[in-house]
Amino acid sequence: MITFTAPMWVGILIGFVIGAAAEAWGIANPETLIRLAKWEDRLFVICIALGLAISTPVLFGLYALGIGFHFSPKPLYLVGVGLGGVLFGAGLAIAGYFPGSIWMALGEGRRDAIYALLGALLGAASWTALFQTSAGQWLVKTLNFGSLVIGGKHVSAFVIQPFSGLTPVDLFGISLVYAIGLFLVAYYLPRYKGGTRSCIRENIERRNTPLEIQKHLDTAIYLTDGALPYSQTSLAKKVNEYYATESNVTRWFMVSVAGIVGLTVVLEMFLHQIFGESTTYSWIVGQLFMPSFTYSQIVFKGIGWEPFSDIGTLMGAFFSAVFITRRFTSFRNIIPPSWASRFGSNQALRFVGSFVGGYLMLFGARMAGGCASGHILSGDMQMALSGLEFTAAVFAAMIITAKVMYK
C-alpha cells in the first residue's frame, strides 16, 4: 500500500484552499447559514452533495488501487452523536456559524464572529468538564458500535476492513451508488425556496425564473453589504454577481468550487488526516485553562495539524475577501438581515445570539466527536455511519429551530 505523511505546516496550505473556496461560496457570512436553516437557500447542501459525489468515489477508487489514506471515521455512539447533532443544529440556526465558518468569518472581518468564537470556546470548555463525569462517559459509551462505514469498519491506520465477503473494489462500487444519490440531490434540489433549478441546472439550461434572479440579487446584496468597493470590470464583480455576468467560465467556477473542496479533502486524507475544525477549540481551552482534564489530555495526544489548518482556513478566507470577492468588512457592525428583521439591529442582542449559538454548536460538536467538517464533510465522504447520523440530526434540529426562531 502506498502511504505518505506530510509535515504539519502543509496543513496551513490545505486550510487555505478550503477557506478561500468557502468564502467565495459565501459560507463565511452568517446570513447564508441562517437562510440554510430557514430552508430558503440550499447552496450549502447542493455544494456539499456535489463535492461528496465527486470525491467519495475518488477516495474509495484510489483505496481499491492500493493508495493508503489516513482514514478516521468517527465512532458511532448513537446517543452522544445524535444529541450532539441536535445541539449543533440548534446553535447553527441561532448563530449562523459552524466551527470552521467562524474562522472564515474572522478572515472576512465580521464582528459577530468574535462573539461566536467566545461562545464556542465556552462550549468546548463545558464538554471538557462534562467528559470525565459519569454523564459524559454515558453519552460516549452507550450504544457505541465503533468506527463503522457503509460496507466496512475502520480497524487501523490506513485500513478500512470491508465486511466479510466484500473487497475494497466492492466498497468502490458502493461509493458509486452513494455518489449517484448525492449527485441527484445536487442536481434536482432547487437552490432557492420557490425556485425551480439547482445551481447545476441553472448553468446547464442557462435559464432562471424571475424569482431566482431576484433571489440571486438579494444574495449578492447581503454578501457584499459593508464590504469594499469594486469596479465594474473586476473579478469581484464577476464572483459576487455571477448570475448577472455573461461569463460562463465564472458561473462554472462557482459550481466547480464544490469539487475543489471535496478533492482537497481527499488530498488532505492522503497527506495527513481528515479535515476537522472543532478539535482546535478544545485544544485551545485545554492549553489555556484546563490542561489537567482527561479530555484535554486526550486532545493533546491526538491533535494533528488542526490548529494549523484552522489558521490556514482563516487566511484563505481573508485572502479571498481581500483579493477576490472584496467582502472584507473591517469588523463593522453588520447584523445578518434575517436576524435584523426578527430581532432588530441591536448589537447587544446579536452578541447574545452569536454567543449562545456558538456555545451550543461547539458543545454539540465536541459531544458528537466532530462538526460540519469532521462529520458532515470528511465523515460523509468516508461513508461513516456516525457522519450520516450527525448530518440527519443537525438538519432536523436546524430547520426546527429556525422555524421557531425566525417565524
Interface residues toward other proteins, by CB under 8 A: 5-9, 12-13, 16, 106-107, 109, 220-221, 224-232, 234, 236-237, 240-241, 272, 287-288, 300-305, 307-308, 311, 314-315, 318-319, 322-323, 326, 328, 330-332
Q: How many whole angstroms separate alpha carbon 240 and alpha carbon 242? A: 6
Least separation in angstroms between CB 292 and other proteins: 15
Q: Of 145 and 300, which CB lies nearer to other proteins in the complex structure? A: 300
Q: Of 182 and 220, which CB lies nearer to other proteins in the complex structure? A: 220
Q: Of 209 and 234, which CB lies nearer to other proteins in the complex structure? A: 234
Q: Of 134 and 233, which CB lies nearer to other proteins in the complex structure? A: 233
CB 373 within 8 A of CB 70: no
Please list the alpha-helical segments (H only) found in 289-373: 294-302, 306-319, 337-343, 347-368
Q: How many whole angstroms separate alpha carbon 379 and alpha carbon 391? A: 9
Least separation in angstroms between CB 207 and other proteins: 23
Q: For residue 273, report the phi and psi dihedrals to the nearest 5 degrees.
A: -170, 180
Q: How many whole angstroms separate alpha carbon 43 and alpha carbon 262? A: 15
Q: Of 108 and 380, which CB lies nearer to other proteins in the complex structure? A: 108
Q: How many whole angstroms separate alpha carbon 292 and alpha carbon 316? A: 33
What SS3 state is found at 192? strand
Q: Which helix (H) or strand (E) is 153 found in, with range?
A: strand 152-156
Least separation in angstroms between CB 283 and other proteins: 8
Overall residue count recorded for the chain in this entry: 407
Q: How many whole angstroms separate alpha carbon 76 and alpha carbon 376? A: 14
Least separation in angstroms between CB 329 and other proteins: 8
The three three-digit cell numbers of residue 176, written as one number = 458509486
Q: Of 71 and 318, which CB lies nearer to other proteins in the complex structure? A: 318
Which among 91, 107, 131 is positioned nearest to 22, based on CA atoms? 107
Least separation in angstroms between CB 244 and other proteins: 10
Q: Of 141 and 332, which CB lies nearer to other proteins in the complex structure? A: 332
CA atoms lying within 13 Å on the CB side of residue 279: 24
Q: Of 228 and 400, which CB lies nearer to other proteins in the complex structure? A: 228
Q: How many whole angstroms separate alpha carbon 157 and alpha carbon 343? A: 49
Least separation in angstroms between CB 241 and other proteins: 7
Q: Of 273 and 378, which CB lies nearer to other proteins in the complex structure? A: 273
The three three-digit cell numbers of residue 110, written as one number = 465580521
DSSP state of 8: T
Q: Of 126 and 234, which CB lies nearer to other proteins in the complex structure? A: 234
Q: For residue 65, report the phi and psi dihedrals to the nearest 5 degrees.
A: -85, -5
Which among 73, 92, 95, 72 is positioned nearest to 84, based on CA atoms? 92
Least separation in angstroms between CB 306 and other proteins: 8
Least separation in angstroms between CB 333 and other proteins: 10
Least separation in angstroms between CB 229 and other proteins: 5
The backbone region for 131, taken as left when phi is positive above 0, alpha when psi lies in -120 to 50, beta otherwise, is alpha
CB 358 within 8 A of CB 88: no
Least separation in angstroms between CB 20 and other proteins: 11
